[in-house]
Amino acid sequence: MKYTGAEILIKTLLDEGVDTIFGYPGGAVIDIYNALYDYQDQIKHIRPSHEQGGVHAADGYARSTGKTGVCIATSGPGATNMITGIATAYMDSIPLVCITGNVASHLIGKDAFQEIDIYGVTMSVTKHNFMVSDVAKLQDTVRKAFSIANSGRKSPVLIDVQKDVMQSMYEYEPKPSLPLAQLPQFEQSEIEKLAEYINNANKPIIYAGGGVNSSNAGKELRELMNKASIPAVNTIMTIGVLGELDQLNLGMVGMHGKNSSNFAIENSDLVIALGTRFSDRVALNTKHFAPDAKIIQVDIDASEMNKNVIVDYAVVGDVKEVLTALLPLIETKNRQAWLDNIAEFKKEDYQAPCCEEQIKPHQLISYVVNELGEDLIVVTDVGQHQMWSAQYCARTKPRTFLTSGGLGTMGFGFGAAIGAKVGNPDKPVVLFTGDGSFTMNMNELKTAVDSKIKTTTIILNNHTLGMVRQWQNLLYNKRFSQTDINHSFDYVKLAEAFGAKGYSCKTVNEFKAAFIDSQKQDGPVIIEVLIDQDELVLPMIPAGGTVEDIIME
Amino acid sequence: MKKMRVLSILVKNNAGTLTRVAGLFARRGYNIDTLTVSATKDHRFSKITLTAELDDIMLGQLMSQTAKLQEVVSIEELFDHNSVLREILLIKVAVTHECRSKLIEIANIYKGVVVDLSRESMIIELTGKPQKIDAFINVIDNFNIVNFCRTGVTAVQR
Ligand SMILES: Cc1ncc(C[n+]2csc(CCOP(=O)(O)OP(=O)(O)O)c2C)c(N)n1
Ligand SMILES: [Mg+2]
């Protein structure tokens, strides 16, 4: 039987297991929406306030569920509004299939109304993209997009479909999903070599990145740590994979990482890098990163080898597969001297002070995560509040900490929280955001209210773009140029105007009362917490620095 | 240590493939010296041959980044000893009556061919390895070269 291209698109999505779409209608996708009308009972469609929020929502959905996020936007401005969202997912290797409509084929290249070459524009922020100008290729293209997005290193893929393709009729014979590309193959000899490095090391440290999360290698990683008594540090992308409860896990490494984590890298004789890219927020100074150590690396992406830091030995492969092959070759050891060293490093970890009259960021974050338990999904925006959240969120399960790590996108949070809640209706979702980030995409509060998505948004209001101010404070002679936000914004009224419930608080007791009440509400809630403007994220190693440069106050 | 590398990339013959490859080089900051694109026996694929000055680390990065593109089927480095590398030069030289025969003499030594001749100038065509073309241009440097064009390297493995 023949169907319109738009119906074929929807049918293929359904066949690929899609049950949730984040999209926004418009002229170039009106046929998709026309088709969707008949599938309302099979596909949940969430319409954001802005396409950027829609992509962040699809991204939050993907990060929290491990599924592919799907989003739709119309041609021209709808498509360009998606770009920051796509780039955010791209930098953190999140699988998305983004579908845009474009003008009809006879108008392509004519600067038609709302025509943008989104195919050209998104080439550098997608793993691959497609332009579909023939309805006969539509099903195959969609299936390829899902396969590419999830093969190897995951990533967004974009499909741009011309309007007349969606109106043309064609047969729909469902084909099977395409298999994922084969994972990179490695030799046993490579595994033996890795094992040799590890067995010979006295002071090894595991440096675990987002790849451990995407390959679901948490269990194998723990086995390696426990069998050979190897401590680990995690990046912001691995929060929850290694948890607070892992005795051997030191915690986050890098610019705002724990002293013990940074000291451990500094003093190690072997760094075991797993699924991580030695970003400039971790290997702050590539010349002095782990100065006395050999470095071995495992990554699914061959182009990560020797990209930022030159390593001594690298194996291209899926972290889980490599660790599984490696474990039997690893000698059981207790490495007591090294663990004693580490215990000493831990004594030098930063201890944040508490205050009852004006709540401190770590107090409120710790309180919330304690109240809501290990299933809580913590989402952040970007800035100081993001780093405090990373430091104190105490997640113990994978996919429970969602943050824009690679691109650092302010405005990511609200959309992502919506997506996380849609994907996990039974789990609590809390967004920690800042006054700057929140105002970037607060329009999505409307989405949460309209679609009855229960999220808790906690705004750490320091009346400033705190992270930038912190740099001005510490590194730019306190010249606070354009960072303070001296608005007299009433967040409670704002929440009410959107149809949500709002709270404002300052002391520990006020905060607790507001939080407890907020959890009794049905819809989304906003809690403004007034914090001190001069609060710093500590410790801090400035960009390009080493452990010698740690700032503690 | 940097040296001249020749890379041969087999790509799917789809719209936009060259943009993808060239775009990747531009955004990753790889400096490409020459790039040629050609059809292959199988019309579904094209061959991109490029040359660049790279050290081993840069070479590894360029190759692995390029290999990640969905349209790239394979990428390999070609060497003098296992491949035939050729480039064509067309060079226009302003000549006077006196120097014309001298230039022809040099061109002959390099097996160059005069493909256009007028009273004031001549155009010489020369095919060869890039090093040979470099050498020829170098040797006739003291003549009055008006302009020249090189095709960039194309190559086939032995
Ligand atoms: C879209 C975007 N614009 C600018 C920045 C640069 N930037 C990084 S953190 C930050 C301040 C964030 O302020 P706020 O959301 O209030 O968080 P705070 O640091 O105060 O906790 C800025 C402007 C960014 N990361 N993203
Ligand atoms: Mg702020």
Instruction: Give the DSSP per-residue string, A443-502.
Output: THHHHHHHTT---EEEEEE-SB-HHHHHHHHHHSTT---S-B------HHHHHHHHT-EE
Q: Is B135 on the interface with A (CB under 8 A)?
A: no
Amino acid at B60: G
Q: Which chain B residues have a beta carbon less than 8 Å from that of A310? A: 57
Looking at residue A488, what is its pLDDT?
A: 77
Looking at residue A507, what is its pLDDT?
A: 97
Where helices occur in A327-411 by DSSP H, the ranges are 336-347, 361-372, 384-392
Does the beta carbon of A463 sit less than 6 angstroms from any atom of ligand 1?
no
Looking at residue A243, what is its pLDDT?
A: 80
Percentage of chain A with pLDDT > 70?
100
**Run means of pLDDT, 10 residues per run, chain A, 553 residues:** 97 98 98 98 98 98 98 98 98 98 96 96 97 98 98 98 98 96 97 98 98 96 97 96 86 97 98 97 94 97 95 98 98 97 96 95 98 98 98 96 98 98 98 97 97 98 97 97 88 97 97 98 97 97 95 93
Q: Is B119 on the interface with A (CB under 8 A)?
A: no
Q: What ipTM does the predicted assembly reach? A: 0.89
Looking at residue A244, what is its pLDDT?
A: 75
For A26-59, b/e burial (b = at least 16 CB within 10 A) is bebbbbbbebbeeeeeebebbbbbbbbbbbbbbb
Q: Is B19 on the interface with A (CB under 8 A)?
A: yes
- For residue A361, whether the previous peptide bond is cis, meaning omega lies within 30 degrees of 0, is no
Amino acid at A53: G
Token pair 């849609």: residue: A422
Domains of chain B: residue spans and CATH: 3-78 (3.30.70.260), 84-157 (3.30.70.1150)
CA distance A343 to A242: 18
Instruction: Kindly report the average pLDDT of chain B as a whole number.
Output: 95
Q: Is B57 on the interface with A (CB under 8 A)?
A: yes
Tens of pLDDT along B107-146? 999 999 999 999 999 999 999 999 999 999 999 999 999 9
Q: Measure CB to CB from residue A307 to each of B61, B67, B70 and give the nearest one.
A: B61
Mutation for testing the B interface, residue in A117, A307, A308, A315 having most B CBs under 10 Å: A307
CA distance A129 to chain B (A): 9
Q: Which of A297, A310, A333 is nearest to A194 (CA)?
A: A297
Q: Is B20 on the interface with A (CB under 8 A)?
A: yes
Q: For ligand 1, pick from A52, A410, A442, A460 the residue to mutate: most ligand atoms within 8 Å of CB.
A: A410
Is the pLDDT confidence value at B15 over 90? no
**Closest-lying ligand to the alpha carbon of A388?**
1
Q: Which chain A residues have a beta carbon less than 8 Å from that of B68? A: 127, 301-303
Looking at residue A476, what is its pLDDT?
A: 97
Complete DSSP assignment for A198-247: HHH-SSEEEEE-HHHHHTT-HHHHHHHHHHHT--EEE-GGGBTTB-TT-T
Residue nearest to atom 2 of ligand 1 (CA): A410
Please identify every residue of A annotated as catalytic: 51, 113-114, 163, 467
For B36-71, b/e burial (b = at least 16 CB within 10 A) is ebeeeeeeebbbbbbbbebeeebbbbbbbbbebbbb
CA distance A55 to A157: 12
CA distance A543 to A514: 38
CB-neighbour burial class of residue B15 (10 A; exposed 0-12, middle 13-18, buried 19+): exposed
Domains of chain A: residue spans and CATH: 2-171 (3.40.50.970), 188-346 (3.40.50.1220), 361-530 (3.40.50.970)
CA distance A144 to A124: 19
CA distance A230 to A326: 14
Looking at residue A228, what is its pLDDT?
A: 97
Phi and psi of B62, rounded to 5°? -60, -45
User: Would you call A306 and B57 a contact, using CB atoms and an 8 Å cutoff?
Assistant: yes
Gyration radius of chain B over CA positions: 18
Q: Which chain B residues have a beta carbon less than 8 Å from that of A123? A: 16, 19-20, 23
Cα-to-centroid distance, A528 and ligand 2 (Å) = 11
Mutation for testing the B interface, residue in A119, A121, A124, A297 having most B CBs under 10 Å: A124
Looking at residue A58, what is its pLDDT?
A: 98
Looking at residue A50, what is its pLDDT?
A: 98
